[in-house]
Amino acid sequence: MKPVILVIDDEEAIRLFLSATLVDEGYDVLLAGSGEEALELLARSVPDLVLLDLMLPDMSGIEVLKKIRDRLPHLCVVMITAYSETDSAVQAMKLDAYDYVSKPIQLDKLLRVIGRGLNDTSEARERFRQLDHGDLFVGMEDVVPSISPAMLEIYDLIRRISSGSNTTVLIEGESGVGKDVIANQIHRTSSRTDGPFLEINCASLPEKLLESELFGHEKGAFTDAQSQKMGLLELAHAGSVFLDEIGEMELPVQVKLLRVLEKMRFRRVGGIEDILVDVRIIAATNRNLAEEVRAGTFREDLYYRLKVVEIYVPPLRSRPEDVLPLAEFFLGHFSKKFGKNFREIGPGAREFLLEYRWPGNIRELKNILERVVLLGEGPVLRREDFQFMGSVGSHAAEFPARLGEALRDPIPADGLDLEGLVDEFEATLVRKAYDAAGGNQTRAAALLGLNRDKFRYRLKQYGIKEKGTK
């Protein structure tokens, strides 16, 4: 396995120069142009060594070094400094940077420092891998032991597919349920765990930019293509690529992605040569891709190539067993982070946490606990701490009564949970139809005026077990 080096520098010319040099020397390279981008990369994949510029646009190299030391104390960090930054370089050495090199960079000296650093920290890297500290930085949710049957089944499935390191996986579920955490776990439990794990949100980029980010581009391929750029698929060689919100991907990009899945080769934008890669594709969506296929907005052949293994992550409201363990974890985490003394969740707060439907799922729970802990004092989390969310008792009533009130009465001043109410209404009818049809999905679907695929999707969406399954 080639050593992986992360280059953090805001000057694109220096990043590309170092990347080309290091690749020629037999290293795999990750690139980041800011401190935030670097920390996001480190949250998904741990390199063997970091080259860190002291001057970055969003934070200083010293700040980035401190954050790296907090999360990854074993990691070898070499600082890149200007001659005028000697004092900062000394400060970096006090923070346990391995060494520093000055600009203009002398390649022979840099390569000697890298070789020495990798050699001197090899034992620390091995201990880190054996201890598996991944849960410190990959995503807080994955360190919480889920007790709901649905999540235990998902974790068991992840263990069973760990041996198939090339198998594509499609993760479905609402926003905020932790699809990215599942993707991380799939990568970390596979034989690709030492390779890069790179992520891109397909909904956040227009078609041409997404294509360039995925496949890279050649110099002059379009107006702003000032130099050659490697795409995520190329950078993630021997690792995994996580395509979040893949249902938003435009059809022309889908065609190119299909070729990657079929042949593991592609061309950069504006390129004429095929590039071979070895990557695992993990995709996620909050859309019903089967319906998108029927609507003609998603390619059927790509859909079936992606869903070799299909994982549906149920919403938090359908697995209430996980609410309190998650809340207790976030309470402890943020209490420590903010220097507060919260120690337990009181009876009233527990009642509220179980009553509320969490339309934003785990992400909403995490954000709310962060706010409550930041503004509160503790040591007991109380029901009153959630008053900023409106009427904390509004979710306690039985569903029929809530639905009747919503239809009959004016909308309350503090609003109502429309999505939650609609979901509960739909889930209730799905269960009733399923029971009335004696577990026959085709008959149950007909009772609701749906086709069988749509009915099966709703069974998964609301965490309703299919008849005959354990």
Average pLDDT for residues 289-315, to the nearest whole number? Answer: 93
Residue 470 lies in a domain: no
CATH of the domain at 61: 3.40.50.2300
At 407 the pLDDT is: 75
Helix runs in 339-390, H state only: 347-355, 361-375
Instruction: Name the most confidently modeled range: 26-30, 279-283, 437-441.
Output: 279-283
Residue 466 lies in a domain: no
At 137 the pLDDT is: 32
Instruction: Name the most confidently modeled range: 293-302, 328-337, 441-450.
Output: 293-302
Residue 467 lies in a domain: no
At 400 the pLDDT is: 60
Of how many residues is the chain composed? Answer: 470
Residue 216 lies in a domain: yes
CATH of the domain at 259: 3.40.50.300
167 and 25 within one domain: no
Residue pair 243/200 in contact (Cβ under 8 Å)? The answer is yes
Average pLDDT for residues 393-398, to the nearest whole number? Answer: 42
- Between CA 146 and CA 152, with CA 151 as vertex, the angle to 5 degrees is 80
281 and 197 within one domain: yes
Residue of 204 and 394 predicted with greater confidence: 204
247 and 153 within one domain: yes
At 154 the pLDDT is: 87
Which residues form the domain of 79?
4-135
Rounded CA-CA distance 238/233 in Å is 10
At 109 the pLDDT is: 92
Residue 130 lies in a domain: yes
At 165 the pLDDT is: 80
267 and 131 within one domain: no
At 401 the pLDDT is: 57
Per residue in 73-93, pLDDT tens? 778 999 988 755 566 667 777
Q: Is the pLDDT confidence value at 305 over 90?
A: yes
130 and 143 within one domain: no
Could you tell me what percent of the chain has a pLDDT over 90? 33
Residue 302 lies in a domain: yes
Per residue in 195-227, pLDDT tens? 999 999 998 888 888 988 899 888 876 777 778
H/E segment holding residue 5: strand 4-8
Domain boundary among 80, 100, 135: 135
Domain boundary among 365, 389, 413: 389
163 and 305 within one domain: yes
pLDDT category at 393 given cuts 50, 70, 90 is very low
Token pair listed for 463 = 């965490």
Q: Is the pLDDT confidence value at 251 over 90?
A: yes
At 418 the pLDDT is: 77
Residues 6+ apart with CB under 8 A from 268: 215, 216, 217, 218, 221, 228, 229, 230, 231, 275
At 89 the pLDDT is: 61
407 and 427 within one domain: yes
* Total count of domains within the chain: 4
Counting runs of H as helices and runs of E as strands, what totals does the chain give? 20, 16
365 and 330 within one domain: yes
Q: Is the pLDDT confidence value at 70 over 90?
A: no
3-class secondary-structure state, position 50: strand
290 and 259 within one domain: yes
Residue 379 lies in a domain: yes
At 470 the pLDDT is: 43
CATH of the domain at 365: 1.10.8.60
At 131 the pLDDT is: 45
Domain boundary among 389, 424, 440: 389
At 141 the pLDDT is: 39
